[in-house]
């Protein structure tokens, strides 16, 4: 059921793109600049098929995009968000953090974490969208797209003609095939609130939990399961957790913490099948080597795939996947943009095309895209990759952990600190330039230094850094390397 069936109540009606004759490019009018308005009479708001701006996907990036439209006075009666979900945009990271706290430890619930609270902004509830004249179509995903006629069709059969279109359909969880038990009751994937609700209901009854995948979801969900005092096993194919980012040595420190919390690891293992019990629910995971791990609840976190359909014709990057955009988030078709997880964009500082599946980019790409659309700015997006996680945050946990990483994890690494309580890893390339930096349990001042380090890429005296006696000492050595003037 729709949590909120909000329709925009645009008092002045809206300007049809077709009547404005601004095919595709949207309104390239600076805020505050008087515009000729050819408004269609629309006393009831959005009552015909034309929409000036349409965002497809009501997720993290859409919430931040809506905020930028409002800041420019360009939302009221003009912006429509077409959402698959039943809720206005929210901060998706909460789903594997506060949302999974046990019932007695004050779990996060909507409307508590609607965008843009995750970055200290306003909490944009369903009311906020109404008050700002933004039409939100809930639980009505776009199922067809025609770039020639500028038309979208939703699952309920609505036909929407757009002036400018922003695709922010994000990612979907990769699934285990149904033929090996990937769809059994008790097997969970986690992407949205409905998934998280289903998982919480299973955790309430669970005794033995298997987490498949040693990435972000695996680490965050396994830590949450500890908060529910559940027998938890993580199974993954690699040698250590977080293989895309962590060094083996860094991973070891986190694995030890999980083991102290009674979590078991099965490494280097692939799933052969998930078996069904007499109650029709999952009962165990059978590994390729024939061993069996019992489970009444399985959480699968084996990566995510960009949601491209039905927009394939807009242009998919063949190497990275994702909808290809330029440094202003413009696709190959004028008037169509893509942001967030689904967009493959030029990562200017490392001179490569990439897709980033993290919330900081969702927020910043949304803002940058909408600013470029609504104003005449042509400043290229210059993103510094930023990833973070927080686990064991619930009250009563013996040790909370929170880490941040900035930059590129390339080159050799220097690790400083014992993890008790802090650890830092520095990635340094063959020219001795610092490329990436990771910090666990830093102070706010220390975390604030990391983006400066990763952005300026100072030349580092490696011997000096290796001899650092503490994380504080190491960060000071890196900071003074920026000041030494050898930065980019
Ligand atoms: C459980 C979880 C925890 C995370 N934690 C962190 C974290 O701690 N830190 C971090 O940096 N990142 C985290 N991420 C990643 C971060 O949430 C994403 O990078 C971010 O949500 C991307 O925003 P987006 O708007 O591009 O996509 P999404 O937020 O996924 O939004 C896309 C929306 O589009 C909808 N949609 C898809 N197809 C259609 C269609 N055809 N029509 C209409 N709507 C459609 C989807 O239902 C969804 O609501 C997490 C992700 C998950 C799943
Ligand atoms: N803190 C964060 O930034 C955060 C938190 C949660 C989720 N997310 C996002 O959510 C999405 C999904 O996260 P994720 O953890 O599933 O992806 P991931 O890519 O971080 O990890 C996937 C893991 O799955 C495992 N794996 C891959 N194929 C497998 C297979 N066939 N069988 C068993 N294991 C397999 C590997 O161990 C791999 O590390 C990503 O976009 C991620 O960025 C981010
Ligand atoms: O970025 C984030 O947003 C949410 C939460 O802070 C919203 O309240 C969360 O858990 C993050 O990591």
For ligand 3, what atom is nearest to the CA of residue 119? Answer: 1
Kindly report the protein residue whose alpha carbon is nearest to atom 1 of ligand 3: 118
In a shared domain, residues 297 and 188: yes
Residues 378 and 28: their CA atoms lie apart, in Å, by 11
pLDDT at residue 59 greater than cutoff 70: yes
| Residue pointed to by tokens 């050819």 | 38
In a shared domain, residues 213 and 298: yes
Spell out the residues 6+ positions from residue 317 whose beta carbon is closer than 8 angstroms to its own: 323, 324, 344, 353, 355
The radius of gyration of the chain's CA atoms, rounded to the nearest angstrom, is 24
Spell out the residues 6+ positions from residue 315 whose beta carbon is closer than 8 angstroms to its own: 323, 324, 331, 332, 333
Tokens matching residue 255? 């694995």
Residue 288 is assigned to a structural domain of this protein: yes
In a shared domain, residues 163 and 187: no
pLDDT at residue 386 greater than cutoff 60: yes
HSE value, Cβ hemisphere, 13 Å, CA-based, for 241: 29
Residue 379's pLDDT band (boundaries 50, 70, 90)?
very high
Beta strands 264-266 and 231-235, pairing class: parallel
Structural domain span for residue 311: 50-171+306-374
| Residue pointed to by tokens 């920026």 | 482
| 83 Cβ closer than 6 Å to some ligand 1 atom | yes
| Alpha helices for 75-206 (secondary structure H) | 126-131, 193-203
In a shared domain, residues 328 and 287: no
In a shared domain, residues 233 and 208: yes
Cis ω on the peptide bond leading into residue 116 (within 30° of 0)? Answer: yes
In a shared domain, residues 165 and 68: yes
Give the pLDDT score at 315. Answer: 98
Residue 230 is assigned to a structural domain of this protein: yes
- Cα 22 off chain centre by: 32
| 357 Cβ closer than 6 Å to some ligand 1 atom | yes
Cis ω on the peptide bond leading into residue 15 (within 30° of 0)? Answer: no
Apex CA 316: angle with CA 315 and CA 319, to 5°?
Answer: 140
Question: In this predicted model, what pLDDT tens digit does every residue of 418-435 receive, in sequence order?
Answer: 999 999 999 999 999 999
Cα torsion 71, 73, 76, 82: sign: negative
Residue 276 is assigned to a structural domain of this protein: yes
In a shared domain, residues 289 and 311: no
Residue 90 is assigned to a structural domain of this protein: yes
pLDDT at residue 10 greater than cutoff 50: no
Contact yes or no for 336/324 (Cβ under 8 A) = no
pLDDT at residue 32 greater than cutoff 90: no
In a shared domain, residues 144 and 205: no
Residues 308 and 269: their CA atoms lie apart, in Å, by 30
Q: Which residue in 420, 419, 421, 487 sits closest to 458, CA to CA?
A: 487
Indicate the SS3 state at residue 402: strand
Ligand 1 site-directed mutation target among 65, 89, 93, most atoms within 8 Å of CB: 93
pLDDT at residue 19 greater than cutoff 90: no
Look at 19-23, 129-133, 351-355, 464-468 and tell me which has the smallest mean pLDDT. Answer: 19-23
Give the pLDDT mean for 55-67. Answer: 98
Residue 340 is assigned to a structural domain of this protein: yes
Ligand 3 site-directed mutation target among 64, 89, 90, 94, most atoms within 8 Å of CB: 94
- CATH classification at residue 95: 3.50.50.60
Ligand 2 site-directed mutation target among 175, 213, 354, 402, most atoms within 8 Å of CB: 213
Give the closest ligand to the alpha carbon of residue 217: 2
HSE value, Cβ hemisphere, 13 Å, CA-based, for 483: 7
Apex CA 368: angle with CA 362 and CA 372, to 5°?
Answer: 145
pLDDT at residue 20 greater than cutoff 60: no
Spell out the residues 6+ positions from residue 391 whose beta carbon is closer than 8 angstroms to its own: 97, 219, 220, 223, 224, 400, 401, 402
In a shared domain, residues 61 and 156: yes
93 C-alpha to center of ligand 3: Å?
5
In a shared domain, residues 289 and 214: yes
Domain count, the chain: 3
What are φ and ψ of residue 401, in 5° steps? -130, 145
Give the pLDDT score at 47. Answer: 52
Measured from CB, residues less than 6 Å from any atom of ligand 3 are 91, 93-94, 97-98, 113, 117-118, 359
| 218 Cβ closer than 6 Å to some ligand 2 atom | yes
* Strand stretches in 336-422, DSSP E: 336-338, 343-347, 352-354, 386-391, 401-407, 412-416
For ligand 2, what atom is nearest to the CA of residue 271? Answer: 32
Give the pLDDT score at 23. Answer: 28
Which residues are paired to 275 by β-bridges?
284
- CATH classification at residue 419: 3.30.390.30
Residue 3 is assigned to a structural domain of this protein: no
- H/E/C letters for each residue in 212-262? ECCCHHHHHHHHHHHHCCCEEEEECCCCCCCCCCCCHHHHHHHHHHHHHCC
Cα torsion 476, 479, 483, 485: sign: positive
Tokens matching residue 196? 């998280």
Domain end, chosen from 302, 330, 365, is at: 302
Which has more confidence, 150 or 3? Answer: 150
| 95 Cβ closer than 6 Å to some ligand 1 atom | yes
Tokens matching residue 54? 């349409």
Beta strands 323-324 and 336-338, pairing class: unpaired
In a shared domain, residues 356 and 409: no
Give the pLDDT mean for 253-273. Answer: 98
Give the pLDDT mean for 293-321. Answer: 97
Which has more confidence, 238 or 29? Answer: 238
Question: In this predicted model, what pLDDT tens digit does every residue of 459-478 receive, in sequence order?
Answer: 999 999 999 999 999 999 99
Domain end, chosen from 258, 280, 302, is at: 302
Residue 139 is assigned to a structural domain of this protein: yes
Residue 181 vs residues 186, 212, 272, 299, 301: alpha-carbon distances, Å:
10, 13, 10, 12, 15
Domain end, chosen from 279, 302, 325, is at: 302
Residue 124 is assigned to a structural domain of this protein: yes
DSSP string covering 416-443: ES-SSS-EEEEEE-TTSBEEEEEEES--
In a shared domain, residues 267 and 190: yes
300 C-alpha to center of ligand 2: Å?
9
For ligand 3, what atom is nearest to the CA of residue 390? Answer: 12
| 58 Cβ closer than 6 Å to some ligand 1 atom | yes
- Other CB atoms within 10 A of residue 98 CB: 20
454 C-alpha to center of ligand 2: Å?
24
* pTM for the model: 0.92
């Amino acid at each position: 059921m729709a949590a909120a069936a909000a329709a925009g109540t645009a008092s002045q009606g809206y300007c049809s793109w077709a009547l404005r004759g601004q095919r595709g490019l949207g309104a390239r009018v600076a805020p505050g600049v008087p515009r000729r308005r050819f408004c269609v009479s629309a006393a009831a708001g959005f009552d015909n098929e034309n929409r000036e701006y349409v965002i497809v996907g009501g997720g993290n990036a859409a919430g931040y995009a809506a905020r930028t439209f409002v800041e420019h006075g360009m939302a009221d009666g003009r912006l429509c968000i077409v959402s698959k979900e039943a809720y206005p945009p929210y901060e998706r990271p909460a789903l594997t953090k506060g949302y999974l706290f046990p019932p007695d430890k004050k779990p996060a619930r909507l409307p508590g974490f609607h965008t843009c609270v995750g970055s200290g902004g306003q909490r944009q509830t369903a009311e906020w969208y109404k008050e700002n004249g933004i039409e939100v179509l809930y639980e009505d995903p776009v199922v067809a797209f025609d770039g020639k006629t500028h038309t979208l069709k939703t699952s309920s059969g609505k036909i929407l003609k757009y002036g400018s279109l922003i695709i922010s359909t994000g990612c979907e969880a990769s699934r285990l095939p149904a033929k090996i038990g990937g769809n059994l009751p008790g097997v969970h994937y986690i992407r949205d609130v409905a998934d998280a609700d289903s998982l919480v209901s299973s955790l309430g009854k669970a005794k033995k939990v298997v987490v498949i995948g040693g990435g972000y979801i695996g680490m965050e969900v396994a830590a949450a399961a500890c908060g529910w005092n559940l027998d938890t096993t993580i199974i993954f194919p690699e040698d250590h957790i977080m293989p895309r980012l962590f060094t083996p040595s860094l991973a070891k420190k986190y694995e030890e913490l999980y083991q102290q919390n009674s979590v078991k690891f099965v490494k280097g293992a692939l799933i052969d099948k998930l078996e069904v019990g007499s109650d029709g629910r999952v009962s165990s995971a059978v590994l390729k080597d024939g061993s069996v791990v019992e489970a009444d609840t399985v959480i699968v976190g084996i990566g995510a795939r960009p949601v491209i359909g039905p927009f394939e014709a807009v242009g998919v990057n063949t190497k990275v996947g994702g909808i290809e955009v330029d440094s202003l988030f413009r696709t190959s078709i004028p008037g169509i943009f893509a942001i967030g997880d689904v967009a493959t964009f030029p990562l200017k500082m490392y001179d490569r095309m990439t897709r980033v599946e993290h919330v900081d980019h969702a927020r910043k790409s949304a803002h940058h895209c909408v600013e470029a659309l609504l104003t005449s700015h042509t400043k290229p997006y210059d993103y510094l990759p930023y990833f973070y996680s927080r686990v064991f945050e619930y009250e009563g946990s013996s040790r909370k952990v929170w880490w941040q990483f900035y930059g590129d994890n390339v080159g050799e690494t220097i690790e400083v600190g014992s993890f008790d309580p802090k650890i830092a890893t520095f990635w340094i390339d063959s020219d001795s330039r610092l490329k990436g930096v990771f910090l666990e349990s830093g102070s706010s001042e220390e975390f604030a230094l990391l983006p400066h380090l990763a952005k300026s890429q100072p030349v580092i005296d490696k011997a000096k850094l290796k001899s650092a006696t503490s994380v504080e000492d190491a960060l000071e050595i890196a900071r003074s390397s920026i000041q030494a003037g050898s930065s980019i």
